[in-house]
Amino acid sequence: MMDFIVNNFNYFIYVLLMMVGLYAMMAKKNLVKKLIGMNIFQWSIILFFVSTGAKLGGTIPIIDASRELTANQYINPLPHVLMLTAIVVGVGTTGVSLALLLSIFRRFKTLDEDEIVRKLR
C-alpha cells in the first residue's frame, strides 16, 4: 500500500489541488476567491496532463537513424502541446474575468456574491 502511495504521489497532489479549487469555487462568496479557485482547479488539470506525457528514460520524438529505438521509448508530445493551448486559454479567461470583476465592482461597490444579488433585487 505504501509503495502505491509513493509511486503515485503526484496524482494525490493533483486531486488535492482539484478539491481545493472546487471548494473555493463552490463555498466562497467573494468573486475574486472564486476566480482564484477556478485557476487552481485549471492548473491542477494542466499539471496532471503534463505529467501523463512524461516518461522515465524516454527520449524526444525525433527519429535518429544511428540509434535503434522502439515507439514505446519516445515521449508523447501531444499532452504538452495541448496544455500550452490550455495555458493560453486560461490566461485569456482570467484576464476577461478580472475585467468583468472590475466592472462589477464599479457598479455594485462590492464583490460579495450575496450583496450583489441583494442589490439586484
Q: The dihedral of CA 90, 95, 99, 101: what is its sign?
A: positive
Query: What is the pTM for the complete model shown?
Result: 0.84
Domain ranges (residues) in the chain: 2-54+74-120
User: pLDDT tens-digit profile of 74-114?
Assistant: 888 888 889 999 999 999 999 999 999 999 999 999 999 99
- For residue 88, what pLDDT is reported? 96
CB atoms within 10 A of CB 63: 7
Residue ranges in the chain assigned as alpha helix (H)? 2-7, 9-27, 31-52, 78-108, 113-120
Q: The dihedral of CA 66, 70, 73, 79: what is its sign?
A: positive
- For residue 48, what pLDDT is reported? 92
DSSP string computed for 40-59: HHHHHHHHHHHHHT--TT-B
Domain 2-54+74-120 has CATH 1.10.10.60: no
CB atoms within 10 A of CB 79: 17
Separation between Cα atoms, residue 18 and residue 39, nearest integer Å: 10
